[in-house]
Amino acid sequence: MDSLQGHSVPPPRILLLEDDPAIARTVIYALERSGLQVTHCLLVRDALQQLALRPHDLLVLDVGLPDGSGLDVCRQVRAQAATPVLMLSAHGEEIDRVLGLELGADDYVTKPFSPRELVARVRGLLRRATPTAAAPAAPPGLFTVDAAAQRASLRSQPLDLTRREFGLLAELLRRPGHIRSREALLNAVWGPDSDSTERTVDTHIKTLRAKLQQADPGREHITTHRGMGYAITLDGSA
């Protein structure tokens, strides 16, 4: 039996924001057939109302909508929670994907897409959203990481991290001082089935580094090793 369909555990609740009826029907059918519960919204305002009424385990958001953009919903959700977000768009340009990822989206699917691929990506995001291990320890007073809540702080100052930024920080903290290749970080944080590239890792490392520097000015916690990858150092003390 599928692990997402336990006898006593309710199925994951997915919020779908899509204004194209044909695409919405296809997505709803594929997700519900896979044992997931779907709440469908046509407009941004309806999606925000649904999110205010009840929590959802994952969001599937279209970019272009009559009253706005799914990117707006992604931005608002990221300001409050670490709920996984999968973006849908008819646009294949890199700038659209980068914008969605920088706003905190976890994955991106370009139309037209295979329903089976969409379900696989949703399942992958749901699996990775479930905490499986305790966060690595860091020297007292430096980093504090709460894997279950997807929160981190530096020198007792909370860090406003996206889900991917948090994942990168947690991965780097697993082996402080050791160089982690872009490929290793991509597989660990985005998953081996992701279409994201190593450039995506660079983009998120850049924003993560800026946030760490803002919390701890004058110190470079993440170092770049050209042609090799990234490492985090924990040699600083208060």
pLDDT tens for each residue of the chain, 238 residues long: 444 444 345 788 999 999 999 999 999 999 999 999 999 999 999 999 998 888 888 999 998 899 988 888 988 887 777 788 998 877 665 666 666 777 778 888 888 889 999 999 899 888 877 654 444 444 455 888 887 788 899 988 899 998 899 989 988 988 788 888 888 898 888 877 777 888 889 999 999 999 999 998 888 899 998 888 999 987 643 3
Tell which residue, 48, 93, 43, has the closest CA to residue 64: 43
* Among 7, 2, 14, residue whose Cα is nearest residue 129: 14
Q: In Å, what is the CA distance from 83 to each residue of 75, 163, 168? A: 11, 8, 17
Are 86 and 109 spatial neighbours (Cβ–Cβ below 8 Å)? Answer: yes
**CATH number for the domain formed by residue range(s) 143-232:** 1.10.10.10
Q: Find all residues with CB under 8 Å of 224, minimum gap 6, and list them.
A: 205, 230
Residue 17, Cβ density class (10 Å: 0-12 exposed, 13-18 middle, ≥19 buried) = buried
Contact at 8 Å (CB) between 56 and 14? yes
The residues that bridge with 193 in the sheet, in sequence order, are none
- Do strands 143-146 and 107-110 pair parallel, antiparallel, or not at all (unpaired)? unpaired
Check: CB of residue 215 under 8 Å from CB of residue 154: yes
Distance CA 9, CA 59 (A): 19
Distance CA 7, CA 16 (A): 24
C-alpha count within 13 angstroms, C-beta hemisphere, residue 194 = 25
What are the start and end residues of each CATH 1.10.10.10 domain in the chain? 143-232
Is residue 54 left, alpha or beta, with left meaning phi > 0 and alpha meaning psi from -120 to 50? beta
- Domain 13-129 fold is Rossmann fold (3.40.50)
Instruction: Enumerate the CATH 3.40.50.2300 domain ranges in the chain, comma separated.
Output: 13-129
User: Residue 55 and residue 166: Cα distance in Å, rounded?
Assistant: 21
* Tokens describing residue 46: 């309806």
Token code pair at residue 203: 């983009």
State CA 122 to chain mean position distance: 11
